[in-house]
Amino acid sequence: MREGLPISRRSFIKLAATAGAAAALPGCEPAARKLIPYVVPDENVVPGVPSFFATTCSECPAGCGAVARIREGRVIKLEGNPADPIGQGALCARGQAALQGLYNPDRLAHPQVRGDDGALRTVSWDEAEKMLGDRLAAASKAGKDRVAFFGSPQGPTFRKIALAFLGVYGSSRATFYEAINQEPARVAAKTLFGRRDLPIYRIDQAEALISFGADFLETWQSPVELARQYSLFRTPQKRRGALTIGRSTYVGPRLSMTASKCDDWIATAPGAQADVAWSVLNVLVKQRWISPNSGFDLAALSNAVANFDPAATSARTGVPVETITRLGETFGKADGALAIAGTDDSSAHLAAMILNAVTGNFGKTIMFLAGSPAEETSTPDEVDAAVDAMRGGEIDAAFIAGANPVFTMPVSARMAEALQKVPFVVWAGGVPDETAAMASLILPAHHPLEAWRDTAPRAGIRGLGQPVMQPVFDSKPVGDILLAAAGRSSSAKPPWATTAAAVKAEWLALASKADGAGPEDFWVNVRREGGLFEEQHLSALKLDTSPFKAPVPAAAQMELSVYAYPHIFLYDGRGADKPWLQELPEPVAQIVWDSWAEMHPETARKLGVAQDDVIEIKTEHGAIEAPVLVASTVRPGVIAVPLGQGHRAYGRYAKDVGTNAWLILAAGATCAGATARATGKTRRLVSPLGKSDMMGRSIVEAMSIEQLARGVIPKNEAEEVTGPFEMYTPWKYPGHKWGMTIDVNACTGCSACVTACYAENNIPWVGKEGVDNGRIMSWIRIERYFPEAKAAAQAPLLYLAPMLCQQCGHAPCEPVCPVFASYHTDEGLNGQIYNRCVGTRYCENNCPYKVRRFNWFVPEWPAPLNLQLNPDVTVRGAGVMEKCTFCVQRIQFGELNAKTEDRELRDGEIVTACQQACPTRAITFGDSNDPASAMMRRREDHELRNYRALEELNTQPAITYLRNLYREKGKA
């Protein structure tokens, strides 16, 4: 009964695929004409076949490598670069969303000049550059250092270009500004080791981990890399004979996503972490749990931490004494421990580093690298100096690129005022932001993906960013603008004409290091690899144990304080113009398209406010208004507000969404004492989430590591059916039977998979109202459940797991479809034929997992966002149902490749978008007919942890989950 099928199935798929291309092409025609003149066919561009370019991600300082997927000249997806040692092939949600920055419809299309009336006037590039040249010339004539460059660090080469540019105009006022700059850590490093660069961490080498407020799975330093390490750290393994997982503790005011993946969350007031850290050190010193050759003078150490006797600390911070001593014990006794800090005071960082040092973990779980240090951002003092100079009227012309200081700088810095003092402000960038609004000349700059650039995230790693496509708009690389401007000047010209030339020159200079290969081979090679990744060597540390400033205990905590943290997706605010990120629910709060003031029910009661009440939060620096989110995910007495929202410009998707928490912070601070009052207004916080209580259903399951060690499978007390119960004779899947294994323990909830799915499968966003109306379209979502109150003692802090179509063998959605739009392929896929769907929506009614999505309206991608659409995937119209397809287009691609190359399909050859993106490799896709496949082996290796969602319904899902692991409380 199989003969007929393959043909029919294939024709179905083809139908879908071709229709997909057809639907996508009209959208991209104008661009296509511009990008690829098919009149003269380009032999490098084979229609229908993607090409891949290695490049680097520039969405945050972590500097992961990326690979751009190009179709017909358009980059349609960003993925991690496997060759890159940092990301190792994974890319976070923010990185992937860079595409929406590239294709953002609100990007500046032409140079514009602001008239005296403040209105912008479009001008040609020539006019603009002439104007720029003239004003700069004038400025430089006026004297030395009258020209300033103020921008984000955009790589070593760019740095040189910027400096050269300034040089030409007789200035040295270059400021490389990052809003989130890890300054406290650098200060700590400086104090202890006399160096300002950041250490490298190896969580996977540790047995115990304490994070003093460092959200290392979200935004802290290098999330993708650290998440990968953390998942290894949490993988059950034999340690000293016992099966166990790394013990992690989070000390901080909010149960962040990172905290939720730890064993314990010690809720302290913001700023109290240092106190606890020192106290832990105190315990270590007292107990002599310190390595003999740590190089520390015990006496000095113990009197330094004298004020931090656990009892005292406990009194100050409210953290129980035994908690602190236990922390000390686990940390001291651990074979490999790591303490990290993410607070805004260097004290905690210092304490953490000493903790690592005294336990002899330097070189093991934490290390400094030899060789050229990472490029540095300007120190806060340098930044202040620059701003003061502007305010002081010492600057005639300021060139701002890549940074949005007006938005991210605290009110106290008075940046806006400073810019007003500058007669001529040039802004170059993509989507005009708050800073651009203050500039008199704004220039459309290339998106990083359109320009040549390089990165140096750490010693031994140079990322090479090559343009992956033709410019979408009439823009230029910032570097080129600077060089052109420099070129106009009469005085000494910079050595390169363009950024491209500069980058190539710089890199060929590196070639000498690269043994053997000649320069051109080297050039080809680094472009293919996406950079130069050399062996990383530890640098010898000269520990400065000279009695350091004995820390003073933090003042008694304030009545009410506000804690502002970088939003996992919006970061410092640069993500806010990307609908994908706006519509991605923050993993813990599950809110979209808004900011919120998260507070404990107790706090809410004290303040007399309820969910969705808009409150005004006032600090000494400023005041903001935000709706209340009542949740026990923050410490009582603390209001947590995410950064990144509240733009007053920056395009249609960012403008007037939420509130800007930077406004209530001091420079470099993340918290402040605050007062809050109800404003009487209310604003619905919008979330796609219904109930947060799993009601004991087997959706996201967890078991304790102790149970795993004992080999006990958690039993659900439902009555068992005895005797045969199978109604139908099972179907046969002669060829492949696709399946998936998802390790819930490895899943951090970072939602990279969700964004990957949006990008791969042309999933439209629906906006705040849409989400509120229950029309969110995500095919894969992160389920968030709170443990039931009674079970909380013996459960993970939070249940987080991806939920997507389970591709059921007995899919309830299939037989109810009247027109076979939903049916089962003979490769075990739960097929959904959009063209055939009439929209009865019965399938979704009958889907126990509720993973199907209906197109309530005609989806829209404002040009040029439509250029990002994946031609391999149908764009669905109004009135049809859609859902996860296991990336059937990728499966087809893989199978066709294998066929054309006349070979068997290799395991792991087909990688779904979600799997590809996952930093912790929680998702494995493969053939369940092949017991040797990685996917099946993973199930076998963790047999005790296998479970299927809602298994009692006999839907026979193709997805097997591996239970989350937690550590039973009250166990050492």
Partner 1 sequence: MSTHLQKAHRERGAMKPRAVESVVGTSTRAVAGAMIVLGATAFMLALSRGGAAIAWQAYLVNLLFFLGVAQGALVASASFYLTQAKWGGSTPYRLGEAFAPFLWVGFFLFFGLYFGRSLIFPWVTHPIAQKAAWLNTPFLFARDGIGLGVMAAASYAFIRVSRGADARAWTIATDDIQLPPHSIRVRAPLVAVLFAVVYTLIAFDLVMSLAPVWRSTLFGWYFFAGCFWSGLTAMALTAVVLRSRLGENNLFTNSTVLHDFGKMVFAFSVFWIYLLFAQYIVIWYGDLPVETFFVVQRVHHLPWSPLSAACLVLIWLIPFTVLMSVRAKKTPVILGTVAGLGLVGMWLERYVLVVPSLSLDAVPFGPTQFLISIGFLGAFLVSAMPGLNRVAQAATSGEPVGDDPE
Partner 2 sequence: MAAAPKISAEPSYRDIDRSVLRVMEPAGLAYWAWIGFCFTLVAIAAALWARQIYTGLGVTGLRQPVMWAIYITNFVFWVGIAHSGTLISAILFLFRTKWRTAVYRAAETMTIFAVATAGLFPLIHLGRVWFFYWLLPYPNERSLQPDFRSPLVWDAFAVSTYLTISALFWTMGLIPDIANAREAASGWRKKFYTVLAMGWQGTDRQWRHYSMAYLLMAGLATPLVLSVHSVVSWDFAMAINPGWHSTIFAPYFVAGAIFSGVAMVITLLIPMRRLLGIEDLLTEWHFDNLAKVVLLTSLVVSYAYITEAFMTWYAGDPIEQMTFHMRYFGPWGWMYWVMVLCNCVMPLLLFSPRIRVNLRALWIVTIFVNIGMWFERFVIIAGSLTANFEPSQWAGYRPSITEIMITVGSFAWFVGLFSLFSRFLPIISMTELKEGIVWLRKALKMDRATAA
Partner 3 sequence: MSTVAIISSFADDTQCANAIEQLRAAQVGDFNTFSPIPSHRIERAIGRSKSPVRWIVLAGGILGVLAGLAITIGTTYEWRLNAGGKPLLSWPPFIVICFELMVLLGGIFGFLGVMMLSGVPTTEMEPGYDGRFGEDRFGIVVRCDEAEAARIELVLKESGAEEVVREGA
H/E element holding 53? Answer: strand 51-56
Q: In what order do the strands lie in the sheet with 247-252?
A: 264-267, 247-252, 208-212, 337-341
What letter represents residue 673's amino acid? G
Q: Which is nearer to partner 3, 6 or 859 (CB)?
A: 6
Residues 779-818 that bind partner 1 (CB under 8 A): 810, 812, 815
809 scored as a contact of partner 3 (CB under 8 A): yes
The only residue of 815, 877, 879, 894 in contact with partner 3, by rule CB under 8 A: 815
Q: Return the SS3 of 201.
A: strand
Name which of 658 and 802 has its Cβ closer to partner 2: 802
| Spatial separation of the C-alpha atoms in residues 74 and 469, rounded to whole Å | 6
Q: Which is nearer to partner 3, 721 or 789 (CB)?
A: 721
Task: Give the H or E element holding residue 328.
Answer: helix 321-333
Please choose, from the candidates 182, 262, 219, the residue with its C-alpha nearest in 3D space to the C-alpha of residue 92. 219
The minimum distance between CB 814 and partner 3, in angstroms, equals 4
Maximum distance among all Cα pairs of the chain, rounded to whole angstroms: 95
Q: What is the dihedral of CA 18, 19, 25, 27, to 10 degrees?
A: -160
Interaction partner, residue 731 (partner 3, partner 1, partner 2, none; CB < 5-8 Å by kind): partner 3
Cα dihedral 900/903/909/911 (nearest 10): 50
Q: Among 822, 832, 912, 960, which residue interacts with partner 3 (rule: CB under 8 A)?
A: 822
Residue 813 Cβ, how far from partner 1 at the closest point, in Å?
13
Are the C-beta atoms of residues 261 and 748 closer than 8 Å to each other? yes
Q: Which is nearer to partner 2, 547 or 839 (CB)?
A: 839
5 binds, among partner 1, partner 3, partner 2, none (CB under 5 to 8 A by kind): partner 3
730 touches, from partner 2, partner 1, partner 3, none (C-beta below 5 to 8 Å by class): partner 3
Rg (CA), the chain: 28
**Six token digits for residue 777:** 């379209």
The distance of closest approach from Cβ of residue 567 to partner 2 in the complex, given in angstroms and rounded to an integer, is 22
Give the separation between CA 964 and CA 795, rounded to whole angstroms. Answer: 9
Segment interacting with partner 3, rule: CB under 8 A, options 1-9, 573-581, 755-763, 907-915: 1-9
Structure tokens at 189: 């490093």
Judged by beta carbon distances under 5 to 8 A according to partner kind, the member of partner 3, partner 1, partner 2, none in contact with residue 725 is partner 1
Binding site for partner 2 (CB under 8 A): 688-697, 699, 718-719, 773-776, 781, 783-785, 803, 812, 815-820, 823, 836-842, 844-846, 848-850, 853-858, 878-881, 950, 953
How far apart CA 280 and CA 348 sit, in angstroms, is 11
Residue 45, number of CB atoms within 10 A of its CB? 15
Of partner 1, partner 3, partner 2, none, which one does residue 793 interact with (CB within 5 to 8 Å by kind)?
Answer: none
Residue 389 Cα distances to 411, 415, 844, angstroms: 17, 11, 62
Neighbouring C-beta atoms of residue 546, cutoff 10 Å: 7
794 binds, among partner 3, partner 1, partner 2, none (CB under 5 to 8 A by kind): none
Least CB distance from residue 596 to partner 2, whole Å?
19
Nearer to partner 2, 530 or 812 (CB): 812
CA 858, CA 35: separation in Å to the nearest integer?
27
Cα–Cα distance, 901 to 668 (Å, whole number): 57
Give the nearest distance from C-beta 809 to partner 3 in angstroms.
Answer: 6
Selected binder of partner 3 within 606, 621, 810, 841 (CB under 8 A): 810
Q: What 3 state SS string does 852-919 have?
A: CEECCCCCCCCCCHHHHCCCCCCCCCCCCEECCCCCHHHHHHHHHHHHHCCCCCCCCCCCCHHHHHCC
Q: Is 715 one of the binding residues for partner 1 (CB under 8 A)?
A: no
* Helix/strand/coil for 483: helix
Examine residue 655 and tell whether it contacts partner 1 (CB under 8 A). no
Question: Out of 367, 483, 753, 817, which residue is the one contacting partner 3 (CB under 8 A)?
Answer: 817
* Beta carbon nearer to partner 1, 236 or 815: 815
Nearest CA to 125 out of 111, 115, 107, 108 is that of 111
Task: Find which of partner 1, partner 3, partner 2, none residue 722 binds, CB within 5 to 8 Å per kind.
Answer: partner 1
Structure tokens at 643: 């950064």
Considering only residues 926 to 965 of the shown chain, the ones binding partner 3 according to CB under 8 A are 956
**Which residues are 366's β-sheet partners?**
201, 362
Number of residues that bind partner 1 (CB under 8 A): 16
CA atoms of 221 and 198, how far apart (whole Å):
9
Q: Which CB atom, from 117 or from 719, has the smaller least distance to partner 2?
A: 719
Task: DSSP for 424-467, please give it.
Answer: EEEEEESS--TTGGG-SEEEEBPPGGGS-EEEEEETTEEEEE--
Nearer Cβ to partner 1 (39/721): 721
- Minimum distance from residue 841 beta carbon to partner 2 (Å): 4
838 binds, among partner 3, partner 1, partner 2, none (CB under 5 to 8 A by kind): partner 2
Handedness of CA 449, 376, 487, 454 (dihedral sign): negative
Q: How far is the CB of 726 from partner 1 (least distance, A)?
A: 7
Q: Which residues pair with 113 in a beta bridge?
A: 121, 441
Helix axes 346-358, 183-193, angle to 10 degrees: 50
Question: Tokens at residue 929, please?
Answer: 């007919």
Q: In what order do the strands lie in the sheet with 923-927?
A: 923-927, 738-743, 959-962, 946-947
Q: Using CB under 8 A as the criterion, what x/- string covers residues 30-69 for binding partner 1? A: ----------------------------------------
Q: Which does 837 bind (CB under 5 to 8 A by kind): partner 1, partner 2, partner 3, none?
A: partner 2
Site for partner 1 in 725-764 (CB under 8 A): 725-728
Looking at the Cβ atoms of 646 and 812, the one nearer to partner 3 is 812
728 binds partner 3 (CB under 8 A): yes
Where in 939-958 is the site for partner 1 (CB under 8 A)? 952-954
Q: Nearest distance from residue 816's CB to partner 1, in Å?
A: 9
- φ and ψ at 951, to 5 degrees? -60, -30
Find how far residue 42's CA is from the centre of its chain.
36
* One of 706, 826, 909, 951 touching partner 3 (CB under 8 A): 826
Q: Which amino acid is at 863?
A: A
Residues 482-511 that bind partner 3 (CB under 8 A): none
Q: Choosing among partner 1, partner 2, partner 3, none, which partner's interface includes residue 302 (Cβ < 5 to 8 Å by kind)?
A: none
Q: Which is nearer to partner 3, 727 or 789 (by Cβ)? A: 727
Residue 724 binds partner 1 (CB under 8 A): yes
Please give the Cα distance from 863 to 662 (Å, whole number): 32
CA distance 582 to 104: 14
Would you say how long the chain is, in residues?
Answer: 972
Q: Which residue matches tokens 């119960």?
A: 725
Query: Which CB, 7 or 728, lies closer to partner 1?
Result: 728
- CB 806 to partner 3: min, Å: 13
CB of 834 to partner 1, least distance (A): 25
Which residue's CB is nearer to partner 2, number 654 or number 771? 771
One residue of 814, 872, 882, 895 binding partner 3 per CB under 8 A? 814
- To the nearest whole angstrom, how small is the minimum distance from the Cβ of residue 89 to partner 3? 35
Helix or strand holding residue 264 (H, E): strand 264-267
Interface with partner 1 (CB under 8 A), residue from 723, 902, 904, 972: 723
Per CB under 8 A, residues contacting partner 3 are 1-2, 4-5, 8, 728-731, 808-817, 820, 822-826, 956
The contact set with partner 1 (CB under 8 A) reads 719-728, 810, 812, 815, 952-954
